[in-house]
Amino acid sequence: MNPAVVRLLEELELTPLLAADAATPLEELQIDSLRTLELVACFETEFGVEVPDELLVALVDAGDLLRFLDVRSDSATS
Amino acid sequence: MGAAAVGNAAGSIVVPDLVSRRCELRPVQLSDIELIAGWETGGENLVRWRLHGSTPSPDGVRSEIWNGVLAQFVVVSRRSGSPAGLVSLYNPSFVHGHAYVGALQSPDFGRSALTLEGLMLLVDHAFRCWTFRKLYAEVLSFNLAQFASGIGRVFTVEGTKREHFFYDGAYWDEHLLALTRGTWEGDGLTRLRAVLGMASARQGIVRAA
């Protein structure tokens, strides 16, 4: 995982995501609409990327979100 | 009398642009009625939103949609240009300084939280244009989980109607959430308003008297 993503998750108090089983629904991790909104806005600001709406709609579980953050952050910094 | 009532020396004002990071608001038009009726009755919204299972006629939707409304906007994605939801400011009390807000998301936009971002734009607009002290939202308990992380940080639960609403064999609570001007403009939400690109963060805040 990109260290900058880990730092961002720590800042937003979302580190339980890192330890969760990939199939854990985001709701069980208390990642609700408001948390999603904050995470996406901070992620876009940090990495200078724009996240298409349709990618967010498809996120269901911890694995989806972690893969999404990893891939998008790598594409932003490479 | 405070700065809001006086304005600046040049007499100019800063007009909020109703645009944030990912969305913008545009006033509801008659041509939006069919779209909104589709959202109200589509997917989970049919029972989660105000109709609670009923399906009014298109004329019924048209006659009800502006009842008690002070300001109402379609939330539009800036990325795709697609309408994503509806946000409303309604039942204002200018004597007591409060109003209600509500939001309806298109079933197509699920987890995008785009309509929630639009709702925050509406809150920003409401506190800028009127002297409201706080804004309320009535939320059924089975909808609260969608933004429960905001309890205590963004809004408070000021009251609960116990077993107020029937659905699917059970009676559900309805909560009254409140967001004060002080919380919205306070330090705790500075970063959130900034990263979302709220006008109050980009253009500055003029506090009410």
Tens of pLDDT along A19-77? Answer: 999 999 998 898 998 999 999 999 999 999 888 888 888 888 999 999 989 888 877 76
CB within 8 Å: B111 and A32: no
Residue B183, pLDDT > 60, answer yes
Residue B4 — pLDDT band, cuts 50, 70, 90?
very low
Residue B3 — pLDDT band, cuts 50, 70, 90?
very low
Residue B206 — pLDDT band, cuts 50, 70, 90?
low
Helix residue spans in B106-180 (DSSP H): 114-129, 141-144
Question: B149, B191, B198, B202: best mutation site toward chain A, by most A Cβ within 10 Å?
Answer: B149
**Is B189 at the interface with chain A, CB within 8 A?**
no
Distance from CA of B124 to the nearest CA of A (A): 16
pTM: 0.89
Distance from CA of A8 to the nearest CA of B (A): 13
ipTM above 0.95, yes or no: no
Which amino acid makes up residue B204?
Answer: G
What average pLDDT score do residues B140-149 get? Answer: 89
CB within 8 Å: A41 and B196: yes
Q: Measure CB to CB from residue A33 to each of B21, B116, B196 and give the nearest one.
A: B116
pLDDT of the residue at B61:
82
pLDDT of the residue at B87:
97
Side-chain-side CA neighbours of residue A52 (13 Å): 4
d(CA A23, CA B189): 32
pLDDT of the residue at B7:
54
Residue A78, pLDDT > 70, answer no
Say what the alpha-carbon torsion angle B158, B163, B167, B168 is, to the nearest 10 degrees: 130
Round the average pLDDT of chain B to a whole number and report it: 87
For B27, which DSSP code?
Answer: E
**Is B149 at the interface with chain A, CB within 8 A?**
yes
Q: B residues 59-118 near A, CB within 8 Å?
A: 77, 79-80, 82, 84, 108-114, 116-117
pLDDT of the residue at B1:
36
Sign of CA dihedral B30, B26, A60, A71: positive
Q: Find the range with the poorest average confidence among B71-75, B90-94, B141-145, B179-183.
A: B141-145
**What percentage of chain B exceeds 70 in pLDDT?**
91
Contacts of B85 in chain A (CB under 8 A): none
